[in-house]
């Protein structure tokens, strides 16, 4: 069964350091999402890509977060500098091109701890 790949699974860093997360969606999926899930809460959308273009980044803290999907396939989410409040699970998801509702498939996530 096709999966969304994410790395690293776990990352511990000190505040003010830079961190990066990588996501490889299911082959052929045009839409890619990055969600942030703070412990005890539901996931919140950070950024949505359609192919290589950003569709929605209204909730992305652009002073420190950046995301790119240069060739419309895999994607990188970067935080620089990291702050204590960035400790969370970062989830990547992808969906296909079918008309109508596409189901999002999630990766296993990258858990970030900022010390």
- Which residues of this chain interact with another protein, rule CB under 8 A? 4, 6, 31, 33, 40-45, 48, 56, 91, 93, 95, 100-109, 111
Shortest Å distance, C-beta 90 to another protein? 10
Instruction: Specify the residue, 27 or 58, whose C-beta has the smaller distance to another protein.
Output: 58
Shortest Å distance, C-beta 93 to another protein? 8
Distance (Å) of CA 19 to CA 3, 28, 44, 111: 23, 27, 19, 11
Nearest to 68 by CA among 81, 57, 58: 57
Instruction: Specify the residue, 52 or 81, whose C-beta has the smaller distance to another protein.
Output: 52
Instruction: Specify the residue, 28 or 80, whose C-beta has the smaller distance to another protein.
Output: 28
Shortest Å distance, C-beta 73 to another protein? 18
Instruction: Specify the residue, 16 or 59, whose C-beta has the smaller distance to another protein.
Output: 59
Nearest to 33 by CA among 85, 107, 111, 115: 107
Shortest Å distance, C-beta 81 to another protein? 25
- The count of C-alpha atoms lying within 13 angstroms of the C-alpha of 20, restricted to the half-sphere facing its C-beta, is 6
Instruction: Give the integer Cα–Cα distance in Å for 34 and 111.
Output: 13
Pairing of strands 10-13, 110-114: parallel
């Amino acid at each position: 069964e096709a999966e969304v790949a994410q790395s690293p699974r776990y990352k511990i860093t000190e505040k003010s350091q830079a961190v990066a997360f990588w996501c490889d969606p299911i082959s052929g999926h045009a839409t890619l999402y990055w969600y942030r899930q703070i412990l005890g809460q539901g996931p919140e959308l950070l950024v949505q890509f359609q192919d290589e273009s950003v569709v929605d980044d209204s909730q992305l803290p652009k002073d420190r977060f950046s995301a790119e999907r240069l060739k419309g396939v895999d994607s990188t989410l970067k935080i620089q500098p990291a702050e204590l409040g960035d400790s969370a699970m970062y989830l990547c998801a992808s969906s296909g091109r079918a008309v109508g509702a596409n189901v999002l498939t999630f990766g296993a996530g990258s858990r970030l701890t900022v010390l």
